[in-house]
C-alpha cells in the first residue's frame, strides 16, 4: 500500500521562528533578579514545556521549594511581560530561513500545514511575523490543558486539519515535543541537536524539501 503524506504540523518556537532566544532572555533576567541559577543547559529543559512547568524546572534545578501560588503566578507573569516586550520588536525578518519557502512548497504540493505550540503567545508571534496566512490551522497553549510531552496540542491540530495521525508528520526542536508527536500517533522530524528520538533529524527547516518529508514519511510508515 502506498502511504501519502497529507499534512505537516510544525512546532513554532525554534522551528519556524527565532523566539527561543527571547524565552531564554526573559527567564534569565527573572532568575538573576531572584538569585536563582539558570543557564543554557537548564534552558534546554524548558523547550516545548509550558510557562508554569518551566518555572518549576528552574526551582527544581536550584533545589529550592516553590513559593506560594500567588508569588509563583506573579513570577510567571513577570517573565511573560518581558517576553511579550521582546516579541513586540519582532517582524517578518525573524521567521527562520527556509520556513516560508517550505510552507509555500507544501501548500503547492497539496499538503496541509498546521502549527502546534505550547505557547499562549502564539497568536501574537504569528501576527508580528506575518506567518498566519501561510499556515492552514493553529493549535496552541490557549487551547490546551496539558503541556507537551502530552499529545493534546498535536491532537487538536490534527482535528482542525481533519486528518488522521497516520497521514501526517510532526516537526519539532524539543525532546518533549518529539514525545508528544509520537504519543499523538505521528512520525517525527527533528530540528537541531535537542530533538532526541525523532525518526529523522535536520539542522534547520532550511535543509528540508517537500520531497525529503515525503521520503521520511513513506519510509517510516512502511516500517510501521
Ligand atoms: C514553547 C516554548 O513553545 O512555549 C517554551 O518552547 C515556552 O519555552 C512555552 O515555555 C510556553 O510559552 P508561553 O509564551 O505561553 O509562555
Ligand atoms: Mg520549540
Beta bridge partners of 25: none
Q: What does the pLDDT look like over 124-169, one tens digit per residue?
A: 999 999 999 999 999 999 999 999 999 999 999 999 999 999 999 9
pLDDT over threshold 90, residue 224 = no
80-101 per-position pLDDT tens digit = 999 999 999 999 999 999 999 9
Helix, strand, coil: what percent of the chain each, to 5? Answer: 50, 10, 35
Secondary structure class of 214 (helix, strand, coil): helix
150 among known catalytic residues: no
Is 162 annotated in the active site? no
Residue 2 reports pLDDT greater than 80: no
What lines the ligand 1 site, CB under 6 Å? Answer: 12-13, 23, 46-51, 54, 80, 117-121, 141
- Three-class SS state of 80: helix
Q: Which residue has its alpha carbon closest to ligand 1 atom 4?
A: 119
Across all residues in the chain, what is the average pLDDT?
Answer: 96
pLDDT of 1 higher than 80: no
Looking up cell 505537516 gives 8
Ligand nearest to the CA of 49: 1
Sheet with 137-139, strands from edge to edge, namely: 137-139, 112-116, 7-10, 168-172, 187-191, 200-202
Under 8 Å between Cβ of 62 and 46: no
Q: How many Cα atoms occupy the beta-carbon half-sphere of 23 within 13 Å?
A: 27
Cα 119 to middle of ligand 1, angstroms: 4
Atom of ligand 1 nearest to the CA of 120: 15
CB-based contacts of 184, cutoff 8 Å, min separation 6: 151, 154, 155, 158, 165, 170
d(CA 75, CA 66): 11
Q: Name the pTM for this structure.
A: 0.96
95 C-alpha to ligand 1 centroid (Å)? 17
Number of CB atoms found within 10 A of residue 123's CB: 13
Q: Phi and psi at residue 193, in whole multiples of 5°?
A: -70, -15
Q: What are phi and psi of 195, to 5 degrees?
A: -85, 60
Ligand in nearest proximity to the CA of 205: 2
Q: 222 in helix, strand or coil?
A: helix
Amino acid at each position: 500500500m502506498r502511504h501519502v503524506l497529507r499534512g505537516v504540523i510544525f512546532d513554532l518556537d525554534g522551528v519556524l521562528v527565532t523566539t527561543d532566544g527571547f524565552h531564554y532572555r526573559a527567564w534569565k533576567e527573572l532568575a538573576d533578579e531572584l538569585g536563582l541559577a539558570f543557564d543554557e543547559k537548564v534552558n534546554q529543559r524548558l523547550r516545548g514545556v509550558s510557562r508554569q512547568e518551566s518555572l518549576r524546572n528552574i526551582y527544581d534545578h536550584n533545589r529550592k521549594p516553590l513559593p506560594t501560588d500567588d508569588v509563583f503566578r506573579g513570577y510567571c507573569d513577570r517573565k511573560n511581560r518581558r517576553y511579550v516586550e521582546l516579541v513586540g520588536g519582532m517582524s517578518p525578518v525573524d521567521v527562520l530561513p527556509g520556513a516560508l519557502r517550505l510552507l509555500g512548497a507544501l501548500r503547492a504540493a497539496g499538503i496541509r500545514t498546521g502549527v502546534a505550540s505550547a505557547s499562549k503567545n502564539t497568536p501574537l508571534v504569528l501576527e508580528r511575523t506575518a506567518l498566519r496566512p501561510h499556515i492552514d490551522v493553529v493549535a496552541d497553549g490557549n487551547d490546551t490543558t496539558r503541556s507537551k510531552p502530552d499529545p493534546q496540542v498535536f491532537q487538536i491540530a490534527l482535528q482542525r486539519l481533519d486528518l488522521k495521525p497516520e497521514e501526517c508528520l510532526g516537526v519539532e526542536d524539543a525532546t518533549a515535543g518529539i514525545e508528544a508527536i509520537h504519543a499523538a500517533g505521528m512520525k517525527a522530524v527533528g530540528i537541531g541537536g535537542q530533538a532526541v528520538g525523532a525518526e529523522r533529524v535536520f539542522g534547520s527547516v532550511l535543509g528540508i524539501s517537500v520531497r525529503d518529508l515525503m521520503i521520511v514519511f513513506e519510509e517510516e510508515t512502511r516500517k510501521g
